[in-house]
Amino acid sequence: MQIERGHRMIKVWFVLSACWVGFWSWYYHVPSCGSLHLGEATNIGWHCDGPVAQAGGYEIVPLVVVVAVIIGIPIAVLLTGVALRLLASQDQRPTTKK
């Protein structure tokens, strides 16, 4: 029963992570990511156009920030879940006295 619950939680994580990655990829217009144009701040490297770009503005979002938001959050959630599962399994072990 514990194994089934674990598999179910992993499936839920995959679905939610796919939705997360899809939404944020759309939000940051990932296909528009590229190197900076002439005259732009060269210290941030690659950039992605954020939602302000659609409204006629021009927002430069560093690629590192985009990757951290899109991929970092699901990985952090997975690692937190694994850590909590390990802690819970340690609490369930029977303790024996010598």
Residues 39-79: tens digit of each pLDDT: 555 555 566 666 665 555 556 677 788 888 889 999 999 99
- In-domain check, residue 23: yes
The total domain count for the chain is 1
Query: Is 98 among the domain residues?
Result: no
What's the pLDDT band for 6 if we cut at 50, 70, 90? confident
Distance CA 74, CA 93 (A): 29
Query: Is residue 91 a part of any domain in this protein?
Result: no
Looking at the domain assignment, is residue 93 inside a domain? no
Residues ≥6 apart with Cβ < 8 Å to 72:
none
**CA-closest candidate to residue 6, choices 75, 81, 76, 77:** 81
The reply to whether 30 falls in a domain is yes
Residue 39, sorted as left (phi over 0), alpha (psi -120 to 50) or beta, turns out to be left
Residue 46 lies in a domain: yes
Q: What is the mean pLDDT of the chain?
A: 75
Question: Domain range spanning residue 56?
Answer: 2-86
What integer pLDDT is reported at residue 93 of this predicted model?
63
pLDDT at 83 over 70: yes
